[in-house]
């Protein structure tokens, strides 16, 4: 079956949380995120929520009894993950890996990731962030999440966008976004329907 087949009209919109992983000062993330979000919001059947880790203040010390300040942060962040049917992670590559801020977010949560699909938008130098994505596949497998095969990847990303944040040659990138989101949507519907019949007990 072609995964791009339209869903029945009765199917409700999928809640997709887009995680902007970089919190580095002077980051390029807003350019990539704004470009991607403009396209994701045009994709039929998706309700997009954004979680920008530059706005999160989760400590690196994980605790089962967080302080009131941390609990207040989790009260904002955790529902965005729990309520999601799927995720898209926008990540750079730092030193052949992904940002510590993203690993920290992942480690503060567990059941929120389970039995949900994850797509990736990556950017960087010559590798386009793909080394970060390959490592994230292993991490999300441990969290019982399902990563989709196709990614959106920007090699030498700074040179691909103009001063207005538009991709200079968008046709292939636009097609990659559609393909990845189609896969995310297929898995999200399949897993949501399955959990409606039998709760996931990972």
Strand-pair partners of 154: 123
For residue 7, pLDDT over 60 is answered with no
Cα–Cα distances (Å) from 62 to 73, 103, 142, in that order, read 13, 11, 17
CATH classification (class only), 15-197: alpha beta
What is the domain partition of the chain in residue ranges? Answer: 15-197
For residue 69, what pLDDT is reported?
94
Interval 17-44 mean pLDDT: 97
Residue 88 tokens, joined: 């898209």
- pLDDT tens digit sequence for 73-105: 999 999 999 999 999 999 999 999 999 999 999
pTM for this predicted structure: 0.92
């Amino acid at each position: 079956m072609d995964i791009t087949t339209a869903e029945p009209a009765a199917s409700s919109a999928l809640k997709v949380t887009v995680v902007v992983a970089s919190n580095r000062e002077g980051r390029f993330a807003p350019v990539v995120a704004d470009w991607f979000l403009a396209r994701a919001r045009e994709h039929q059947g998706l309700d997009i929520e954004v979680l920008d880790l530059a706005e999160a203040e989760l400590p690196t010390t994980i605790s089962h009894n967080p302080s009131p300040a941390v609990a207040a942060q989790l009260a904002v962040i955790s529902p965005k993950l729990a309520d999601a049917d799927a995720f898209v992670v926008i990540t750079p590559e730092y030193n052949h890996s992904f940002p510590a801020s993203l690993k920290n977010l992942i480690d503060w949560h567990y059941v929120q990731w389970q039995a949900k699909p994850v797509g990736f938008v990556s950017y960087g130098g010559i590798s386009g962030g793909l080394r970060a994505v390959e490592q994230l596949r292993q991490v999300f497998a441990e969290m019982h999440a399902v990563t989709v095969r196709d990614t959106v990847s920007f090699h030498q990303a700074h040179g691909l966008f103009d001063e207005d944040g538009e991709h200079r040659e968008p046709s292939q990138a636009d097609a990659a976004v559609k393909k990845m989101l189609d896969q995310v949507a297929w898995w999200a519907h399949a897993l949501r329907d399955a959990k409606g019949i039998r709760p996931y007990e990972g």
